[in-house]
Amino acid sequence: MNNYDFLNLSAIEFEDLVRDLLQKHLNMYLESFTEGKDSGIDLRGSIDRKKSLLIQCKRYKDYTSLMSNLAKEAPKVQKLGPKRYIIVTSVGLTPLRKAEIVKMFAPYILSTEDIFGKNDVNNLLGQNNDIEEKHYKLWLSSTTVLKAILQANVKNRSEFLAETITNSIKLFVQNKSVNEAIDILNENNFVIISGNPGVGKTTLAKMLIFQYMSKGFELVEITEDIEEGNKFFSPDKEQVFYYDDFLGSNFLENSIAKNEDKRLYSFMERTKKHKNKKLIMTTREYILKQAQQKYEVLGRQDIDLVKHILDIESYTRIAKAEIFYNHLFFSELPEEYIHAIVSNKGYNRIINHPNYNPRVIELMTMKFNRHSVPPDRYLDHFLLSLTNPIEIWKAAFENQISHLSKYILYAILVTNSPISEESLNLSVKGMLEYDSLRFNISFKRGDFLNSLKELENTFIKITKGSNNEKFIQFQNPSVKDFLIHYIECDYDLIEMIVNSMVYFNQLFTIFDPYNKKAYHHAYDYTLVLSRKIELTDRLRKSFETKIIKDFEALRR
């Protein structure tokens, strides 16, 4: 029998699971109600015309918390006077503790059989495999599955799953996108998940990967070049290949020289011929459109057939509410911040906001620095962040990280990421040596590593190569978009960055010295990754001087 603790489910998700189980166990239809003050009712069934069956679902970690809550519920139940009252909880219960609960709610709980503890719920799940399978968020994060995943072979960047799986599953809201993407994978063995920034492409990809890894598939994470996939391709193994943001700016700029478009298509075709292979890729929809216009091989009809578009417009209001609820539920926000959202139904203004975006929801809950905004301003700040997402990064960048951390971000910005830790160290050192008069910044090894820790999981992510070498890149593309927007009018800062560069390729990563036409796309969430900063005459002169003066010294 499984031994779920149910703590990866939110209170609403636990209630949905209980409803499905008890409807089958009791052989009756159960009404469920929207989240709010429940007056002692989560689920309700009809016994006869006059009296009803009331059910309460209690998701708690321990018995003390459960009993504290039940003591508050008892007067409500006395007032309602149901014919039968059932309690279902995620807490494990002994016979003695069940007897205590029966006494507390006498005469409405008819016997201890109307109290379902953790073991009882697991028992019902064991009898109803179809319900267990339906609630895949439950079994996907079970101890058995997690152990299988963490012991599975992982090629290339091995720490990807170990660090993110539990939190990703807790926050995920079950929706039709998973089944639709799996249908595409079953038919074609590869899928392209596309959509605008922050809609949940990477989260969906992770859920798919976790499902395949739980079945014994080996994970191969591709980070820079499709040849990484070919390198680890084993015909006889079950493998799932993951290529996040496979059409980033590097692809658009370099694919002609590398024939990356043709090699990418060739790998898709290779995967399609092997039923024991799955290829999962993510990209921003407008970048995919640009690539399809630019490269004939990517414009073929079969590419569109394997595309699954995630669109905020397709999110129902209920889905938006559940996403927001899960983030609030699992966040560590103090109660006064939660109250600021709940009072006067402020959450409706967030759920109904025209710029509703899961990434902003995450940043304003799971990664929110509460010391920067008092509780009485939290809702207004939340709404401002939805209206203008750039403000989220600006507040964190200006007020929450050290000067050294800012220089690290500048160095990543001008480098084709991911950048190795060694190369990043060298780039930052060059900036600080050139700009030593602006800030008196310590640059010892320990300071550098502390700044990386400060930035990790918010501004940057760190992965390991096959030889355990660390690579650093932005946590998501919107960080790069923000930094380009932030520095483009600070000419002194740009001049410092240009003059302190130590690698030749850094000169052309984000700067457009001769005002060549850049890719543009109008949308109101953020800036486009491939947009470059046009240089003024003064900055162009510094740029040319740097090339002439340091051409031989610049590292290739």
Give the CA count within 13 Å in the CB-facing half-sphere of 273.
Answer: 8
What does the pLDDT average to over 382-410?
Answer: 85
Alpha helices by DSSP H, listed for 173-259, are: 176-188, 201-214, 227-232, 249-258
Q: Are 60 and 34 in contact (CB under 8 A)?
A: no
Give the CA count within 13 Å in the CB-facing half-sphere of 142.
Answer: 17
pLDDT band at 531 (very low <50, low <70, confident <90, very high): low
Greater model confidence, 109 or 357 = 109
Q: Is the pLDDT of residue 159 over 60?
A: no
What does the pLDDT average to over 541-550?
Answer: 80
Q: Are 396 and 380 in contact (CB under 8 A)?
A: no
Q: Are 271 and 217 in contact (CB under 8 A)?
A: no
pLDDT band at 500 (very low <50, low <70, confident <90, very high): confident
With residue 275 as reference, give the H or E element that holds it.
none
Q: Is the pLDDT of residue 439 over 70?
A: no
- Residue-wise pLDDT for 352-381, tens only, equals 998 888 989 998 998 888 888 999 999 999
Q: Please give the pLDDT value at position 521.
A: 40
pLDDT band at 523 (very low <50, low <70, confident <90, very high): very low
Please give the mean pLDDT across all residues of the chain: 83
Q: Percent of the chain at pLDDT above 90?
A: 36
Q: Are 478 and 389 in contact (CB under 8 A)?
A: yes
Q: Is the pLDDT of residue 93 over 80?
A: yes
Q: What is the pTM of this model?
A: 0.68
What does the pLDDT average to over 218-246?
Answer: 88
Q: Is the pLDDT of residue 522 over 50?
A: no
Q: Are 523 and 546 in contact (CB under 8 A)?
A: no
Q: Is the pLDDT of residue 254 over 60?
A: no
Q: Please give the pLDDT value at position 520.
A: 41
Would you call 471 helix, strand, or coil by DSSP? strand
HEC sequence for 365-400: CCCCCHHHCCHHHHHHHHHHHHHCCHHHHHHHHHHC
Q: Please give the pLDDT value at position 517.
A: 47
Greater model confidence, 544 or 197 = 544
In DSSP terms, 511 is beta-bridged to 533
User: Which residue is associated with the tokens 């700009």?
Assistant: 435
Q: Please give the pLDDT value at position 237.
A: 92
Q: Is the pLDDT of residue 204 over 70?
A: yes
The distance in angstroms from the start CA to the end CA of the chain is 58
Alpha helices by DSSP H, listed for 247-316, are: 249-258, 260-272, 285-294, 301-305
Give the integer Cα–Cα distance in Å for 478 and 459: 9
Q: Please give the pLDDT value at position 533.
A: 84
Q: Are 69 and 105 in contact (CB under 8 A)?
A: no
* Residue in 192, 176, 195 with CA at minimum distance from that of residue 311: 195
- Residue-wise pLDDT for 468-488, tens only, equals 788 999 887 778 888 988 988
Greater model confidence, 324 or 245 = 324
- Residue-wise pLDDT for 217-226, tens only, equals 888 888 777 8
164 token code pair: 């993110």
Greater model confidence, 431 or 520 = 431
With residue 458 as reference, give the H or E element that holds it.
none
User: CA Rg, the chain, in Å?
Assistant: 27
Give the integer Cα–Cα distance in Å for 178 and 189: 15
User: With the C-alpha atoms ordered 275, 280, 281, 284, is the resulting torsion angle positive or negative?
Assistant: positive
Q: Please give the pLDDT value at position 158.
A: 44
Give the integer Cα–Cα distance in Å for 336 and 254: 50
Greater model confidence, 274 or 303 = 274
What does the pLDDT average to over 102-107?
Answer: 96
What does the pLDDT average to over 416-439?
Answer: 83
- Residue-wise pLDDT for 15-71, tens only, equals 999 999 999 999 999 988 665 555 556 778 766 555 689 999 999 999 999 999 999
Give the integer Cα–Cα distance in Å for 159 and 161: 6
CA angle, corner 142, sides to 141 and 147, nearest 5?
A: 95
Poorest-pLDDT segment among 135-139, 238-242, 318-322: 135-139
What does the pLDDT average to over 486-500?
Answer: 87
Q: Percent of the chain at pLDDT above 70?
A: 85
CA angle, corner 319, sides to 316 and 320, nearest 5?
A: 90
Q: Is the pLDDT of residue 244 over 80?
A: yes
What is 33-101 written as a DSSP string? --SS--TT-SEEEESSSS-EEEEEEE--SSHHHHHHHHHHHHHHHHHH--SEEEEEESS---HHHHHHH
Greater model confidence, 3 or 92 = 92
* Residue in 456, 454, 457, 451 with CA at minimum distance from that of residue 366: 457
- Residue-wise pLDDT for 125-152, tens only, equals 999 989 988 887 887 767 666 666 666 6
Buried b (16+ CB within 10 A) or exposed e, 266-275: ebbebbbebe
For the stretch 486-490, contacts whose Cβ atoms lie closer than 8 Å and that sit 24 or more positions apart, written own/partner, are 486/393, 486/394, 486/397, 487/410, 487/413, 487/533, 488/533
Q: Is the pLDDT of residue 275 over 50?
A: yes
* Residue in 232, 249, 250 with CA at minimum distance from that of residue 241: 232
Q: At what angle do helices 160-171 and 201-214 cross, to 10 degrees?
A: 110
391 token code pair: 């403000």
Greater model confidence, 481 or 116 = 116
pLDDT band at 164 (very low <50, low <70, confident <90, very high): low
Name the strands in the sheet holding 43-46, side by side, starting at the edge strand that comes first in the sequence. Answer: 31-32, 43-46, 52-58, 84-89, 115-116
Q: Please give the pLDDT value at position 39.
A: 54
User: Which residue is associated with the tokens 């990866």?
Assistant: 8
What does the pLDDT average to over 170-187?
Answer: 88
Q: Please give the pLDDT value at position 519.
A: 42
Q: Is the pLDDT of residue 251 over 70?
A: no
Q: Is the pLDDT of residue 328 over 90?
A: yes
Tell me the backbone φ, ψ of residue 277, rounded to 5 degrees: -125, 145
* Residue in 208, 217, 209 with CA at minimum distance from that of residue 153: 217
Q: Please give the pLDDT value at position 222.
A: 86
Q: Please give the pLDDT value at position 526.
A: 38
Q: Is the pLDDT of residue 311 over 50?
A: yes
Give the CA count within 13 Å in the CB-facing half-sphere of 296.
Answer: 0
